[in-house]
Structure 1
């Protein structure tokens, strides 16, 4: 497989992922973005934790969809995310959903 073939394959997968995202977006009420992933979810709980003076965030998502082109199944029932980085949570309005 050439570099060009690989690039074309990844471009096709990204396009399929975008189309899936567009189709499932109305099913969810929140967008959650971390440094590593992008989620759509209907339930999100954010907890600030501390360990030895370092602050981190624990997210618990239920009924979620994850933007990841390498996952065969993007719908997940429960997700727990732990991160030391920024977290963005947005409630979708009627227009977006």
Structure 2
């Protein structure tokens, strides 16, 4: 496999991952960004821990989806992530009402 073939494969995988994200994002309540990964989740708890003078963050997520094109299964029931950098958690807006696509046409 050439470098060009590998780059094309990775580009296609990234596009496929983006499309999956776009299709499922409304099923989740939170977007979580850690230093290594990006997650969607329905429940998130972030705990600041301090051990031997070192501060780290323990993030627990339930019903999560992981942005990682190399994972065969991106949906996970429970995730626990430990990081030394801060964790960004954003609550997604939920529309009060969504209309089926056929009603919009």
**Structure 2 length normalisation: TM-score?**
0.88
Deviations 1:1-50 (A, max 9, x none): 00000000000000000000000101000000001000000000111100
Counterpart residue number, 2:50: 50
The runs of at least 4 consecutive aligned structure 1 residues that moved more than 6 Å come to: none
Deviation sequence 1:34-72 (CA, Å, 0-9, x none):
010000000001111001011110001000000000000
Equivalences for residues 1-97 of structure 1 within 5 A: 1-94=1-94
**Post-superposition shift, 1:86?**
1.8
Q: Specify every segment of 5 or more residues in structure 1 that has no aligned partner in the other structure, as ranges.
A: none
TM-score, normalised relative to structure 1 = 0.96
Aligned length: 95
2:72 and 2:22 map into 1 onto residues whose CA distance is 18
Alpha-carbon distance, 1:94 to partner: 2.4
CA distance in 1 between partners of 2:79 and 2:14 (Å): 23
Partners of 1:86 and 1:15 in 2: how far apart?
A: 28
Give 5+ residue unaligned stretches, structure 2.
Answer: 96-105
Q: Which has the larger radius of gyration?
A: 2
